[in-house]
């Protein structure tokens, strides 16, 4: 299972740190598209990621087009509040990229229009704009992992009934 998380112009260091921690937990790669709204030396970024930074395969790009060019075999899914399909409606392939936009604006409208059939959303009550970025990544990423039997993750039977 190759799951890759793409953040296009993330702005809040704590979110990116939390997402890095999720990537470490599930073995996903993290792709960061510049400009970033923070320095990679930011203490809040490092603090949110705790001591998991060495467990994450991080890639940096100057544009989203560069991500697509370097991964022509990848299937890309775009998270947006505007999608007709929910994240749970999709059967995710083995090699997929989950793409998330910046906290204040999401992904560019043109990118979403060009990839409408690959746009996904997390259902929410009417009037709620969006979930926190790091929560959104976790929700969708764990659905992909669930569909693939939590491959390479500790699952059922990890703890005996007496250990918990």
Closest to 68 (Cα-Cα) out of 31, 35, 108, 121 = 31
In a domain, 116, yes or no: yes
Is the residue at 40 inside a domain? yes
Task: Please tell me the total count of domains within the chain.
Answer: 1
User: Which pLDDT band holds residue 87 (cuts at 50, 70, 90)?
Assistant: very high
pLDDT of residue 41: 76
Name the pLDDT band for 141 (thresholds 50, 70, 90): very high
Over residues 33-65, the pLDDT tens digits come to 999 988 877 566 666 556 778 889 999 999 999
146's enclosing H/E stretch is helix 133-147
What confidence tens digit (pLDDT) does each residue in 16-32 have?
999 999 999 999 999 99
Does any domain span residue 139?
A: yes
In a domain, 153, yes or no: no
Q: Is residue 105 part of a domain?
A: yes
CATH code of residue 132:
3.40.1280.10
Q: What is the mean pLDDT of residues 124-145?
A: 95
Q: Is 101 annotated as a binding residue?
A: yes
Please report, for residues 5, 81, 138, the alpha-carbon distance to residue 132 in angstroms, rounded to integers and kept in the order given: 15, 12, 10
Q: What is the extent of the structural domain holding 129? A: 2-147
Average pLDDT, the chain: 90
74 is in an annotated binding site: no
pLDDT tier, 161 (very low <50, low <70, confident <90, very high otherwise): low
| C-alpha dist (Å) from residue 65 to 30, 62, 69, 102, 161 | 16, 9, 6, 16, 49
Q: What is the rounded average pLDDT of the residues 67-74?
A: 96
**Cβ of 135: how many Cβ atoms within 10 Å?**
15
Q: What is the pLDDT of residue 162?
A: 54
11 Cβ contact partners less than 8 Å away, ≥ 6 residues apart? 36, 37, 38, 102, 103, 104
């Amino acid at each position: 299972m190759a799951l890759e998380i793409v953040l296009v112009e993330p702005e809040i260091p704590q979110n990116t740190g939390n997402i890095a921690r999720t990537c470490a937990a599930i073995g996903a790669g993290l792709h960061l598209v510049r400009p970033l709204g923070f320095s990679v030396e930011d203490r809040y970024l490092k603090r949110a990621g705790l001591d998991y930074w060495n467990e994450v395969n991080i890639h940096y790009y100057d544009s989203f087009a560069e991500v697509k060019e370097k991964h022509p075999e990848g299937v890309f899914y775009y998270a947006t509040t505007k999608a007709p399909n929910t994240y749970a409606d999709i059967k995710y392939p083995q090699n997929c990229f989950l793409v998330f936009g910046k906290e204040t604006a999401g992904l560019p409208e043109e990118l979403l229009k060009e990839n409408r059939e690959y746009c996904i959303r997390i259902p929410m009550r009417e009037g709620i704009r969006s979930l926190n970025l790091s929560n959104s990544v976790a929700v969708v990423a764990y659905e992909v992992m669930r569909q693939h039997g939590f491959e390479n993750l500790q699952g059922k039977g990890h703890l005996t009934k007496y250990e918990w």
